[in-house]
A and B are shown apart, each in its own frame.
Chain A
Amino acid sequence: MSAPAVGAASAATIPEAPRSLWSDALATLRHNRAAMTAAIILGLLVLLVVFGPLLSDFRYDKPNWDEIAAPPLTQGHLFGTDSLGRDLYTRTLMGGRMSLLVGLVSTLVSLIIGIAWGATAGFLGGRVDRVMMRIVDLLYALPFMFLVILLMVLFGRNILLIFVAIGAINWLDMARIVRGQTLGLKQREFIEAARVSGVKPGRIIAKHIVPNLLGVVVIYVTLTIPQVILVESFLSFLGLGVQEPMTSWGVMVSDGALEMETAPWMLLFPALFLAITLFCFNYLGDGLRDALDPRDRSGR
């Protein structure tokens, strides 16, 4: 490429407004068909689980002893009923509310705390790093179940506690990953360039470190969301999480697995919803990672 003649374009006539990583990323994401499809499906799914139960003819918690384990499309039950005769369609949507909420809120909590904690520890280094990471180690050492039971005993049974407990565990992994990445990034010359330019540490973390971490973070988030949804079902199975008649996809899948031979739809529908959701998060995550890395964009 040849350098342009100096003064070829004057400073006054600039056709394009300045762009940023985020606006460019959004534009790239729009062109990613798989990611956009995933995003639309997820959007529809959210609308469905929020408004679907309100419009349903059946209540999610009302047993009907005449129609126990009815197959799909009988008596107006779109997905059939469960072993207590409750409408499976309504229950699947109600379960979706809980699972999506747990998945998103817990992940978001762990994301925010983990990135802030890990990037700060990694960037500042030295004694601060050592103290901050020892706190992480300490929390790691606490048995997860013990923590949950302790919270239950102290505050009583509350769905919010599940968010707190899961978030409290998950951010530790995130913090470790982010710190490791930050240690590598810190050595890079563009960070030194920012220091020479007099940029303060807080701004270096926010403007240089975090955007360069996003690739790894997005991958990790797409792994965390399914994990969190499954942890929730495990807690519920032990009687520490969601309680009957309220439900979640995890609970429905584990209940459905018991009836697999006699009433396969009880497993099929919640599992299908769960699978679709996880697929969508994965595709969206991949798309986001590519969009956030300018080097991956094809075409200029």
Chain B
Amino acid sequence: MSPELLEVKNLNVSFATRDGPVHAVKDLSFQLKPGEVLGIVGESGSGKTQAAMAVLGLMADNGRVSGSIRFEGTELVGMRDTHLREIRGDRIAMVFQDPMTSLNPYLTIGDQMGLVLKEHRGLRGAAAREECTRLLDAVHITDPASRLRMYPHELSGGMRQRVMIATALLCRPALLIADEPTTALDVTVQAQILALMSELRANFGTAILLITHDLGVAAGTCDRLLVMKNGECQEQGPVEEVFHQPKTAYAKKLLAAVPRLDAEATRPPPPVAEPVVRVNNLKVHYRIPQPGLFAPDRTLRALDGVSLELRPGETLGVVGESGSGKSTLARAVLRLVRPTAGRVCLLGRELAQLPEQDLRPSRRDMQLVFQDPLAALDPRMTVGQIIAEPLEVFEPSLASGDVTARVAEAMVQVGLDPEWRNRYPHQFSGGQCQRVGIARALILKPKLLVCDEAVSALDVTVQAQIVSLLLELQAQLKLALIFISHDLAVVRRLSHRVLVMYLGKVMELADADELYRAPKHPYTKALMAAVPIPDPRLERERVKALATGEVPSPLADIRGCVFRSRCPVAFGRCGEEEPGLLTRDKSGVACWLA
């Protein structure tokens, strides 16, 4: 037997489609030793997931695999499905991206884990329960025995991913394939899961095949790295070598495009001018009816007292984890939801409580760019029609020739060829769709542009292009920009000031340089610590002060500071009084210790 656990040679995966065969993986070879972590990185469509699926023998009906996959000395390509099934789940286990969709909502955690034990190890009853409890404990789930009786929806996202990992480890597999295991999770939870995976590898000696688009994640976790593009291996080697002496042009380009938290990116302050938008103590509360006849409604505080000011040409970055109220802030400022209280003043006009018809004239001054570039474009309109729509609404008297000219102008401005205007959105790539979205937002020359996770769904190289485009357009048009993202590194490149949110409240507001150099609030510190740095040496040396636990339910009535339950430095006063945002010179920290 060879010392390699997994040996893949000249692997080819192709799919038969109506338009001829599509080659997803071309001539891929790699080895994996027991206990080693190999990272496969690449942008979307690079074939990294298909390569892993081929190892598991999970192919779509029209898929064809050729080449050789030897696992523990056994050839897997061409093996009968019944034999494969014995290996799958037992010797090779898999963790998927979305823990919610890969757990069966109708089975309790205990039942799902029990199925694996019954199938592969013949364990059932009390013995199976005991084994499940032991593994849940190993992935640091508190009170494991009672969790076994819970259903997936009763657990948080991070907890579900822990359950998935525990399930995968039930049979002590020699190989764990993790396909984007942390992509759907918040950064603080991602850091916890990555730490867990490293720990389990040490304890169980499991080899891990980690598939990720995030070079930061790969830097901290992997021993070796394989860079893929268009189904081909571009580069392969020890992780430090790939990061510090990349050989191929593509690897260099990919590494250069990754936004870094520790990058120097000072933006000159915008000229002093009258603010474009002034938001004062903005609140959005939802009443959630409770089951039961006399149960009083509960209040969900999606946004709870946020104030900000923005000058022309200035960018305010808004960061926070899911449920922090970032998107609600965007929607309340743009009046897509009606605020419960507070003021939004755009160019001197008070918008917060205006009825929709009176509001409409102000819409031309404020625009939104969406997260999912394709979903934000009507699939049945040509991109020309999509970009022209705001123009037709606000300048209905414009002759059709002028509309065409203005659309062409806007398309050139965002780097699209005007000849493409008769195409439909699905014919464009994600980055191009986002350019269409930006062109639509800018055709009326608005004063305020809100980008809600506008680059989060894009590959890093495309992300870098869109960020550059936004910077360029901002300089040209003196745009005031609210840039919302969960990714602190991207926010850094664009922002003059940064607003850190948690559970609908502002935790910290500061100049970008200062915030990234010396974060003051414990939550900001925890967020920064959790962001992986795409540099294996630095990443391994970092001492991480990770936030424990996960974001509490926004329905919970929290006395005192909202971050208290996860704060490493909380003390008596935090539970009694809520720290206000102490503002000095447009910066502030909501913490008693600041």
The chain A residue sitting closest to B380, CB to CB, is A211
Q: Which B347-372 residues sit within 8 Å CB-CB of chain A?
A: 360-361, 363-364, 366-368, 370-372
A294 CA to B428 CA, complexed, in Å: 13
Check B429 against A1 for contact (C-beta < 8 Å).
yes
Check A9 against B360 for contact (C-beta < 8 Å).
no
Cβ–Cβ < 8 Å partners of B364 in chain A:
198
Q: Which of A11, A19, A188, A298 contacts B405 (CB 8 A)?
A: A11
Cβ–Cβ < 8 Å partners of B426 in chain A:
294-295
Q: Which of B281-289, B432-440, B515-523 contacts A (4 or more CB under 8 A)?
A: B432-440
In the complex with contacts A9-B417, A189-B372, A294-B426, A212-B336 CB distance below 8 A: no
Count, chain A residues at interface, CB 8 A? 41
Cβ–Cβ < 8 Å partners of A15 in chain B:
419
Cβ–Cβ < 8 Å partners of B366 in chain A:
196
The chain A residue sitting closest to B375, CB to CB, is A189
Cβ–Cβ < 8 Å partners of A197 in chain B:
363, 367, 389-390, 393, 440
Encode A1-43 as 1/0 by CB contact (under 8 A) with B. 1011011111110111011110010000000000000000000
Q: For the complex, is A300 an interface residue (Cβ under 8 Å from B)? A: yes
Q: Which A181-220 residues sit within 8 Å CB-CB of chain B?
A: 188-190, 192-200, 203, 207-208, 211-212
Q: For the complex, is B269 an interface residue (Cβ under 8 Å from A)? A: no
Q: Which of B86-94, B236-244, B250-258, B407-415 contacts A (4 or more CB under 8 A)?
A: B407-415
Cβ–Cβ < 8 Å partners of B418 in chain A:
9, 11, 14
Q: For the complex, is A292 an interface residue (Cβ under 8 Å from B)? A: yes
Cβ–Cβ < 8 Å partners of A1 in chain B:
428-429, 432
In the complex with contacts A199-B389, A294-B379, A18-B370 CB distance below 8 A: no
Encode A43-85 as 1/0 by CB contact (under 8 A) with B. 0000000000000000000000000000000000000000000
Check A3 against B431 for contact (C-beta < 8 Å).
yes
Q: For the complex, is A286 an interface residue (Cβ under 8 Å from B)? A: no
Q: For the complex, is A293 an interface residue (Cβ under 8 Å from B)? A: yes
Check B334 against A3 for contact (C-beta < 8 Å).
no
Cβ–Cβ < 8 Å partners of A9 in chain B:
408, 412, 417-419
Cβ–Cβ < 8 Å partners of A16 in chain B:
419, 422
Cβ–Cβ < 8 Å partners of A192 in chain B:
336, 368, 370, 376
Check B376 against A189 for contact (C-beta < 8 Å).
yes
A200 CA to B366 CA, complexed, in Å: 16
Check A6 against B419 for contact (C-beta < 8 Å).
no
A212 CA to B378 CA, complexed, in Å: 8
Check B440 against A193 for contact (C-beta < 8 Å).
yes
A212 CA to B371 CA, complexed, in Å: 21
In the complex with contacts A4-B417, A212-B380, A14-B408 CB distance below 8 A: yes
Cβ–Cβ < 8 Å partners of B405 in chain A:
11-12
Check A300 against B423 for contact (C-beta < 8 Å).
yes
- A19, A198, A207, A211: most-surrounded residue (chain B CB, <10 A): A198
A207 CA to B404 CA, complexed, in Å: 19
Shortest Cβ distance from A39 into chain B, in angstroms? 22
The chain A residue sitting closest to B437, CB to CB, is A193
A190 CA to B368 CA, complexed, in Å: 11
Cβ–Cβ < 8 Å partners of A21 in chain B:
380-382
In the complex with contacts A199-B393, A212-B380, A292-B380, A190-B415 CB distance below 8 A: no
A14 CA to B378 CA, complexed, in Å: 23
Q: For the complex, is B465 an interface residue (Cβ under 8 Å from A)? A: yes
Check B377 against A3 for contact (C-beta < 8 Å).
no
Cβ–Cβ < 8 Å partners of B390 in chain A:
197-199
Q: For the complex, is B394 an interface residue (Cβ under 8 Å from A)? A: yes
A131 CA to B381 CA, complexed, in Å: 32
A207 CA to B392 CA, complexed, in Å: 12
Check A196 against B419 for contact (C-beta < 8 Å).
no
Check B422 against A18 for contact (C-beta < 8 Å).
yes
Cβ–Cβ < 8 Å partners of A294 in chain B:
379-380, 424, 426
Shortest Cβ distance from B537 into chain A, in angstroms? 34
Shortest Cβ distance from B252 into chain A, in angstroms? 18
Check B370 against A189 for contact (C-beta < 8 Å).
yes
A190 CA to B426 CA, complexed, in Å: 13
Q: Which of B421, B428, B429, B465 contacts A18 (CB 8 A)?
A: B421
The chain B residue sitting closest to A210, CB to CB, is B380
Cβ–Cβ < 8 Å partners of B393 in chain A:
197-200, 203
Check A193 against B370 for contact (C-beta < 8 Å).
yes
Shortest Cβ distance from A176 into chain B, in angstroms? 22
Q: Which of B334, B409, B429, B435 contacts A196 (CB 8 A)?
A: B334
A18 CA to B409 CA, complexed, in Å: 14
Cβ–Cβ < 8 Å partners of A188 in chain B:
375
A14 CA to B432 CA, complexed, in Å: 20
Cβ–Cβ < 8 Å partners of B336 in chain A:
192, 195-196
Q: For the complex, is B203 an interface residue (Cβ under 8 Å from A)? A: no
Check A194 against B412 for contact (C-beta < 8 Å).
no
The chain B residue sitting closest to A208, CB to CB, is B378
The chain B residue sitting closest to A8, CB to CB, is B417
Q: For the complex, is B197 an interface residue (Cβ under 8 Å from A)? A: no
Check B412 against A7 for contact (C-beta < 8 Å).
yes
A7 CA to B416 CA, complexed, in Å: 9
Q: For the complex, is B385 an interface residue (Cβ under 8 Å from A)? A: yes
Shortest Cβ distance from B396 into chain A, in angstroms? 11
Shortest Cβ distance from B368 into chain A, in angstroms? 5
Check B360 against A198 for contact (C-beta < 8 Å).
yes
Cβ–Cβ < 8 Å partners of A11 in chain B:
405, 408-409, 412, 418
Q: For the complex, is B427 an interface residue (Cβ under 8 Å from A)? A: yes
Cβ–Cβ < 8 Å partners of B416 in chain A:
3-4
Shortest Cβ distance from A49 into chain B, in angstroms? 35
Cβ–Cβ < 8 Å partners of A300 in chain B:
423, 427
Shortest Cβ distance from B205 into chain A, in angstroms? 44
Shortest Cβ distance from A124 into chain B, in angstroms? 12
A203 CA to B366 CA, complexed, in Å: 20
Cβ–Cβ < 8 Å partners of B428 in chain A:
1
Q: Which A156-199 residues sit within 8 Å CB-CB of chain B?
A: 188-190, 192-199
Q: For the complex, is B384 an interface residue (Cβ under 8 Å from A)? A: yes
Q: Which of B367, B379, B384, B435 contacts A212 (CB 8 A)?
A: B379
A1 CA to B459 CA, complexed, in Å: 13
Cβ–Cβ < 8 Å partners of A18 in chain B:
382, 384-385, 400, 404, 421-422
Check B415 against A196 for contact (C-beta < 8 Å).
no
A20 CA to B393 CA, complexed, in Å: 17
Cβ–Cβ < 8 Å partners of A190 in chain B:
375-379
Q: Which of A19, A198, A200, A293 contacts B380 (CB 8 A)?
A: A293
Shortest Cβ distance from B468 into chain A, in angstroms? 11
B contact residues vs A (CB 8 Å cutoff): 18, 334, 336, 360-361, 363-364, 366-368, 370-372, 375-382, 384-385, 389-390, 393-394, 400, 404-405, 408-409, 412-413, 415-419, 421-424, 426-429, 431-432, 435, 437, 440, 465
Given contacts A11-B412, A24-B382, 5 further A-B contacts (CB under 8 A): A190-B378, A193-B437, A198-B361, A198-B363, A207-B378
Those 5 A-B pairs whose CB atoms lie nearest each other, nearest first: A198-B363, A11-B408, A294-B424, A197-B390, A189-B376
Show 28 A/B contacts (Cβ-Cβ < 8 Å), sorted by A. A1-B428, A3-B416, A3-B465, A4-B415, A6-B413, A6-B415, A9-B408, A9-B417, A9-B419, A11-B412, A15-B419, A18-B382, A21-B380, A21-B382, A24-B382, A189-B370, A197-B389, A197-B390, A197-B393, A198-B364, A198-B393, A199-B389, A199-B393, A200-B393, A208-B378, A293-B379, A293-B380, A300-B427
